[in-house]
Amino acid sequence: MTNSLDVAAIKKDFRVLDQVQNGRRLVFLDSAASSQRPVQVIDAMSDFYNSTYANVHRGVYRLAEESTNRYEHARRNVARFIGASNHNEIVFTKNATEAINLVAHSWGRTNLTAGDVVVVSMLDHHANIVPWQMLAAERAVEIRWIPVTDDGQLDLSDVDRLLDGAKVLAVTAMSNVTGAITQMDSLIASAKAAGAITVLDACQYVPHLPIDVDALGADFVAFSGHKMLGPSGIGVLWGRMELLESMPPFLGGGGMILNVTVDGFTPDAPPARFEAGTPPITEAVGLSAAIDYLDELGMEAVRAHEVSLTAYAMRKLTSELGDSLRILGPSEPAQRGGVLSIELEGVHAHDVSQVLDEHAVCIRPGHHCAKPLMRHFGVAATARASFYVYNDESDADALAEALVAARDFFAL
């Protein structure tokens, strides 16, 4: 098979993958939880600390101005990468969870009252469910649920009824469990027709596929740096400027105000309004370096590689394990991301993970912060393997070999 990415060359940029565990090379298949970082990102952050770091938007000395310029360059780089024409629509947060909570608490508390409707989906991560449930408990807001099909995709057959009278649609762009890619164009159009804003959890989408938020039509899009080769501690909220300008601050403190008196305060314009306190400065530099790395690879090539590798892995696992294996989600690789949530017959997901660890294969067992979806499938947990740019067919082979070993071990 001809890959669209030179994975052998890419692997050399990730020093963590040089490790040997139990006499085997390390195979990292947990990027859906948090990706690894290339040396280019690590060096960019280290160099920034060594040469440029100072607090931003405060000092007027040269070092502070250089630091501010690097921070704001990162904002512009993020905007360009996701197709946002206005870089001031980019708000840096701690992670995507904080970004969605920002929307729920700032926009939600301003606009939602008792009886209003928020539509979420059974496919979503808790981060795009619980903030709305908290608001529902506080404001008596109604929560409606989009169900899922047997193959782990959104069931949109009744979506117009579910959206009737809704104020918010909160939905994932790609499932972190089934890998299913949401039909965003039609769903966002349906939400607009119903008069609802759309809050998109794009944590699994942005690292793996090209995205153009201006063209997409959503109102808010959230994602995290640590899932796209960047550091932890930084997330992104993109929001339409007219909505951001209408929202009150989420946190109060330094950096987010125009004026404070004994009688009150006047908030700054977005994005500063939502970036109270010292922001994740070095993390923004690291995220910008990760974007540069992905740009060099090309997001079309990233997507093509993952579709090809996912197809290979699904064929390999099915061939090696047959009916003892169940892979949740769509059977067509083009309809999903590189996430394989696995049930191995008669073996608990945590036991599978422990055996795979002995084979130096890193996967994640658990409910993946998607308990409503786990209950839908009738399972407590799955063993999840997830691929990224530094994985290739040899990693899928190692996964299959380790799963066969796990099956055979527990069959004794």
Domain positions in the chain: 7-30+298-411, 42-295
Q: Residue 325 carries which side chain, given as an amino acid letter?
A: L
What ranges make up the beta strands (E) of 157-278?
166-172, 197-201, 220-224, 235-239, 257-261, 264-267
Model-wide pTM > 0.95: yes
pLDDT(411) > 90: no
Q: Cα 124 vs. chain centroid, distance in angstroms? A: 11
Phi, psi values for residue 181, rounded to 5°: -95, 125
Overall CATH class of domain 7-30+298-411: alpha beta
Catalytic site includes residue 369: yes
Helix, strand, or coil here: 354?
helix
Q: Give me the pLDDT at residue 370, please.
A: 96
**Rg of the chain taking only CA atoms, in angstroms:** 22
Q: Residue 234 carries which side chain, given as an amino acid letter?
A: I
181, β-bridge pairs: 174
Phi, psi values for residue 279, rounded to 5°: -80, 175
Token pair in block for residue 115: 């009886």
Angle between helices 281-297 and 39-51 (to 10 degrees): 140
Distance separating the N- and C-terminal Cα atoms of the chain: 36
Whether CATH 3.40.640.10 fits 42-295:
yes
Distance CA 147, CA 44 (A): 43
Element (H, E) at 279: none
pLDDT(357) > 70: yes
User: Which listed residue (369, 370, 374, 400) is catalytic?
Assistant: 369
Nearest to 328 by CA among 338, 341, 337, 319: 341
pLDDT digits (tens, 9 = 90+) for 375-401: 999 999 999 999 999 999 999 999 999
Q: Are strands 382-386 and 364-366 parallel, antiparallel or unpaired?
A: antiparallel
pLDDT(2) > 70: no
**Per-residue pLDDT band at 105 (split at 50, 70, 90):** very high
pLDDT digits (tens, 9 = 90+) for 44-82: 999 999 999 999 999 999 999 999 999 999 999 999 999
Phi, psi values for residue 235, rounded to 5°: -130, 175
Spatial contact of 122 and 144, defined as CB atoms under 8 Å apart: no
The answer for residues whose C-beta is within 8 angstroms of residue 367's C-beta and 6 or more apart is: 374, 380, 381
Is the preceding peptide bond at 333 cis, omega within 30 degrees of 0? no
Distance CA 152, CA 373 (A): 9
